[in-house]
Amino acid sequence: MTQESDKKHLIAGIGVFALLAVSWVWALKFTPPEEHMGEVYRIIYLHVPSAFAAFFSSFVLLVVSIWALVKKQSGAPLVAKASAEVGLIFTILTLATGSIWGRPTWGVWWDWDARLTTTLILALLYCGYLILYSSLHPGPQRNKICAALGILIAADVPIIYKSVTWWRTLHQPPTIMRRGDSTMAPEMLSALLFALAVMILVGGFLVYQRYKNLMISEELERLSYEQTP
């Protein structure tokens, strides 16, 4: 990686996280409190974008897993591992912010609600993927097994999304992607959509950077192995 490339990545990173800071300032300073939940409602501007970033990571994992099975590209497993790592981070952040939101709203930190449970399953699947990837010997067999698990992880996402309509849950029903107009006030909705887009952008940036780091690590391991007498 050249210094010019490093400089471009640094500038891109600064820009992405500057947008993230703008989204938080917008959410905290320039949106009204929710009529019934008050100020605690503002955590939605972190909770929902984190969830969508986790879903985005699962979509990347799905695409590269299929790509690894069909085309057997050497770089696909590294992209898949990077997306699983980033997806796990965002899923944990989703669960943590959901618990913080749930305590004053529902009166409990955790409930075996359908959406919470399926989101927890997503986190466990991401963990399982990373453990499996690390425990298996590098090669086509590992790539196939991990690719199959990557597809299974992505299959959990629509279940998470539809859980509030398929089952009776504590979690509120969809407020953005629903039939008819959104139930949110326009100024809240615009701030949330901006935060959501920025968080997905952050997720994509993190996946790309982690992929590059994994490539460098793999190359260093290869060179070290070749130099070993």
pLDDT tens per residue, range 172-206: 666 655 555 556 778 888 999 999 999 999 999 99
pLDDT tens per residue, range 45-79: 999 999 999 999 999 999 999 998 887 666 888 99
pLDDT at 16 over 60: yes
What is the mean predicted confidence (pLDDT) over 157-165?
Answer: 87
In this predicted structure, what is the pLDDT of residue 97?
A: 93
pTM (predicted TM-score)? 0.88
**Encoded amino acid at 99, one letter:** S
Collapsed DSSP state (helix, strand, coil) of residue 185: coil
pLDDT band at 226 (very low <50, low <70, confident <90, very high): low
Closest C-alpha among 228, 221, 202, 206 to residue 20: 202
The better pLDDT of the pair 199, 115 is held by 199
In this predicted structure, what is the pLDDT of residue 113?
A: 84
In this predicted structure, what is the pLDDT of residue 2?
A: 61
Q: Quick one: tokens of 169?
A: 């849950």
What is the mean predicted confidence (pLDDT) over 203-212?
Answer: 95
Helix axis angle, 3-29 relative to 186-227, nearest 10°? Answer: 150
Distance from C-alpha of 36 to C-alpha of 16, rounded to nearest angstrom: 33
Beta strands in 127-192 (DSSP E): none
